[in-house]
Amino acid sequence: MPLSFLDRKPDTSWAGRLNIRTKLMLCLVSSLAAIVLSNPQSLALLCLASMVYALTALSPWAMLKAYSVFVLMCLVSLGFMSLVSLVMPQLVVWESWRFAVPYMRMLLSFNALLVLAFSSRIQEVMRELQSFGRMVWLHVPLTVAVRFLPTFLDDCAQIRDAYRLRQPLGGQGFGARVSSVWRGFLVPLTFRLLGSADDLSVAAELKGVGNHKRLARKAVPFGRSDILALGGCILGLALAVCLQAIQGGGSIWG
């Protein structure tokens, strides 16, 4: 099952053939670069490279939808900044580079996470986290949470359809509608969620959670695509660091 749990088709893209360790390392490098770099030109270079990287996993239409969500989040943050500026104008300085740098940092990490989400499988990510050592406190809750999300969405869809079929015909008042939603949707959903949680706990016990004896996992070797991706990452990061060293950070003009 893909990490995004939205598409169950096998991934045959270039990013789908990458080793999961390569994609995790690229996510880590992009996060560190977003923290360290502050020059707009350096961040713009890495954002452009990350967009090309994201296109290896998503179609242009999927990228457009993902970027629409990203732009909506940026607009919401700008709206809250406007409210803050109305209350305390001295806290907000409306300069373009002050807003461009944080959003480019977010876009850099966003592109790397898109590739990880839409070209990886849950089992690969969890096994890789498990291979780092005794990190049961991390990979077991993540496994349960990611497994719970598609189950929760399926339960919501089934209970919604059942509620629509049982919904009485004719006009109803506001109180009757609220009562019908409570009895016909929320209560059944609560019991379904409790049943799903119980099933997940039993499945975790059957998979050996709580058992200290675990079999060693054979590491998958890196391929040509992984070497190419890591080489491109190193080259882009070196160019971005050189740009910041030459022009400085924190301003568009240096």
pLDDT (0 to 100) of residue 213: 56
With a cut of 90, say whether residue 93 has pLDDT above it. Answer: no
185 band by pLDDT with thresholds 50, 70 and 90: confident
CB 232 within 8 A of CB 26: no
Specify the higher pLDDT residue, 215 or 99: 99
Question: In the chain, how many H helices and how many E strands?
Answer: 9, 0
pLDDT (0 to 100) of residue 170: 45
Residue 159: which of 195, 135, 192 has the closest Cα?
192
Residue 128: which of 225, 58, 25 has the closest Cα?
25
Helix (H/G/I), strand (E/B), else coil: 130: helix
169 band by pLDDT with thresholds 50, 70 and 90: very low
47 band by pLDDT with thresholds 50, 70 and 90: very high
With a cut of 60, say whether residue 200 has pLDDT above it. Answer: yes
Helix (H/G/I), strand (E/B), else coil: 2: strand
Amino acid (1-letter code) at residue 245: A
Torsion sign, CA atoms 84, 88, 89, 92:
negative
CB burial readout 110-120, b (16+ within 10 A) else e: bbbbbbbbbbb
> For 3-14, what is the mean pLDDT?
54
Specify the higher pLDDT residue, 24 or 174: 24
pLDDT (0 to 100) of residue 239: 92
| pTM above threshold 0.75 | no
